[in-house]
Amino acid sequence: MMEYIGATGIPITFDSVPISNDIDFHFILSFAIDADPSANPQNGKFSPYWEPSLTADSVVAIKAEHPNVKALASLSGWSLDNIVLRWRNPPNPNLWISNAFSSLQALATEYHLDGIDIDYENFPEGSSSFAFCIGELITLLKNQSVISVATIAPFYSTVSPYLELFKRYGEVIDFVNYQFYTDRVTSAAAYLKRFDIRTEQFGGGKVLPSYEVNGRGIQGDAFFEALSLLNKNGFDVNGVMIFSADASLSNGFHFERKAQEFLLNSTTA
């Protein structure tokens, strides 16, 4: 189970989210950004911009209560204070990698992080350094035992740079949090077709079906109909990604509860 948390400025805590102890539960803190508060790029020096209620102590506490919980930092996201964030080709890629490694190592130590999620969402033409910089960063973080989990979060207009990253460094990428809700499919049958396309591109069982609470794409029970249809058609549903806990706070985390119930039942079936 993957759950983005802390991206919208809504005060939220980890312990408000229902967690089954029988499922690996990954909280994805949103976001760590290599920019200053005015969105000026910092050449790989990442700082935390997630909701301040998600403290380092609270990460320790939720892990102590639920040993199946891991915490990841999602890198970049769409914007900072309504300023659109973009991948910028660094003049010196190796310096960017070095800065990113050092700053994320410090964040991982401070917040007891287990991994990172890559969520750059805007790319200029000729973003040739993205795959190299991110792939080498993940490899270095894993080789130095800073992280144990790495995920990527492409969507329909960013498939190309993420596909290059996956093809070159897929062995160090654990899951693909593809944002299916951006494809705006609204029926179970359409979701199945789109899932088939994306899993063929991004390596089968690494792709997780995703859902945006009160958002775009498939909504409500139709999402769980889509999950059942995936199972019936031979796809391994190895998890679910939800965006986000912030939005679910107002509905009692209905979709988190139901998604975990589905995963437990499909695992034991």
212 annotated active-site: no
pLDDT digits (tens, 9 = 90+) for 90-128: 999 999 999 999 999 999 999 999 999 999 999 988 768
| pLDDT for residue 268 | 42
74 within 8 A of 49, measured Cβ to Cβ: no
| pLDDT for residue 203 | 81
Tokens of 30: 């949103």
| pLDDT for residue 266 | 84
| pLDDT for residue 263 | 96
pTM, two decimals, is 0.96
The CA distances from residue 183 to 31, 186, 195, 225, 242, in Å, are 23, 9, 10, 17, 15
Which of 135, 200, 195, 199 is closest to 161 using CA atoms? 135
Q: b/e for 190-201, b at 16 or more Cβ within 10 A?
A: bbbebbeebbeb
| pLDDT for residue 254 | 96
CATH class for domain 2-267?
alpha beta
3 within 8 A of 239, measured Cβ to Cβ: no
| pLDDT for residue 127 | 66
pLDDT digits (tens, 9 = 90+) for 17-42: 999 999 999 999 999 999 999 999 99
Rounded CA-CA distance 159/49 in Å is 25
| pLDDT for residue 267 | 58
Residues with Cβ within 8 Å of residue 48, at least 6 apart in sequence: 29, 32, 73, 107, 111
| pLDDT for residue 230 | 97
Choice among 121, 136, 212, 256 that is catalytic: 121
The low-confidence residues of the chain, meaning pLDDT below 50, are 268-269
Domain ranges of the chain: 2-267
3-state secondary structure 220-234: CHHHHHHHHHHHHCC
| pLDDT for residue 73 | 98
